[in-house]
Structure formats: C-alpha cells, structure tokens
Amino acid sequence: MYPLRMTRSLAVAAGVAALALPSAASAASLTVSPQKPCYSSGEAVNLLGTGFSPFGTVNITRDGTPLPGRSDLETDANGAFNGVLTLFQARGSQAKTYAATDATDSTLTASTQITVSAPRVGLKPANGAPGRLMTITARGFATGPTLWAHVTRGVSKRNLKIGRLRGACGGLKTRKRLLPRDAPLGVYRIQFDTFRRLKPSRPVQDRYTITVTGRA
C-alpha cells in the first residue's frame, strides 16, 4: 500500500569523491520532489536524502512506523539516495512525517512533513431523472488544475469539463448535468480526475456508477 522504489544515483569519479567532506561532518537532510503544499493519495514523489553514510542503508519511517514492504534505501558514494514513494490516504487529509535514519550511524537522521489528501467526489441528488442538474463537490485532487468527468457506457465515451480546482489540496463545488435528458437505458460509469482524456489507470481518481432504468 506504500510502495517504495529505489532510483540509483551515478557514483562520482574517485578523484572527486576524495574531495567530498565525510558524511558525519554535515547534517543529513530529507526532501520531497516535487515540492507542493498538498499531495493526492496515489501520487508518486521522489524522496531525496543527503548527508548519510556512503554506500550504506537508510531506513524510512512514516509517523514513526516503518513502511509496509520495503522500507530501506541504499546510498551512493556521496551518502545520497533517491527513492520513489507512492502516497496513500484512505480518507480526508492528514499531515504525515517521513523520516530517514542511517542504519550504521543512528545520529544521522532527517525528516520532512507533507500533507496527503484522499480524492473524493460527492454527487447530489443521488437519484432522479438522468438529465438532472447535480451538485458536485470534490476535494483531494492536488494534481489539478481542472477536474474532468469521463462518462462511459459500452464503447460510448464523453469527456466533461467540471471546473477549476481551488486550494492547496484541489477542491470545488459546482452544478453540472452529467447525463443528457434523453440518455439511453443502461449503466454509466463516471471517472473523475484531472486529465482531459480518459485513462482508467490514473492513480488519482474517484469513480461513480449511474444506472438509467425504464420510466413508469
């Protein structure tokens, strides 16, 4: 649920490495790239560390707990590492503290705090005529700047622009008609994300299913 992948840095030439200060002489640091005030659950970020033991191992924790699965990264000749971290948040928003601790020298440690928000969309009214205006409330789409709805039924596809997302974590509230008044009977699947074209594997999204049945 919290995959962490290793991206190796190229080792520097021996002559340059000899000029580098020992890792213990400088404070360790931990940063996230890209740097944003808020991230969506499902986003992948680079976890960058410097100032650790060369050719060593660094243990990564989240709020003091090791990450499930792999939670360690290897450092290069300069005591640096670059890991890819996939963020997760089940609901709402939460500030999380990620820390890196050198496996050889525990005094070499650094941390960074980031805010992660779960992407969610609310639709009201839930039931009614297919062409009804719906109040759409969205939050947690920090991959913005625009929220899109991709409506599919069988091979039929429509891409609808919902509106501009606001705030650090990407939210909006607006009214839109997701289905036409004469929508054929059947099951419609709607994927909300921040891209103009539909791609079912988008890591940041929310989905709904709307069924149009016969009328009395």
Better-scored residue on pLDDT, 27 or 119: 119
The whole-model pTM stands at 0.82
Cβ proximity of 21 and 39 under 8 Å:
no
CATH class in words for 120-212: mainly beta
List % helix, strand, coil for the chain (3-state, nearest 5): 5, 50, 50
pLDDT tens column, 58-98: 999 999 999 888 789 999 999 999 999 999 999 999 999 99
CATH superfamily of 4-117: Neocarzinostatin-like (2.60.40.230)
pLDDT tens column, 183-200: 999 999 999 999 999 999
Mean pLDDT of all residues belonging to the chain: 87
In which residue ranges of the chain is CATH 2.60.40.230 found?
Answer: 4-117
Q: Distance of CA 48 to CAs 17, 83, 152, 158, Å?
A: 19, 7, 40, 40
Round to whole Å and give the CA distance between 140 and 159. 20
Round to whole Å and give the CA distance between 88 and 86. 7
**Is pLDDT at 10 greater than 90 in this prediction?**
no
Cβ proximity of 78 and 51 under 8 Å:
no
**Is pLDDT at 57 greater than 90 in this prediction?**
yes
Q: Which pLDDT score, from 0 to 100, does residue 13 have?
A: 27
Q: Which pLDDT score, from 0 to 100, does residue 215 have?
A: 58
pLDDT tens column, 36-55: 999 999 999 999 999 999 99
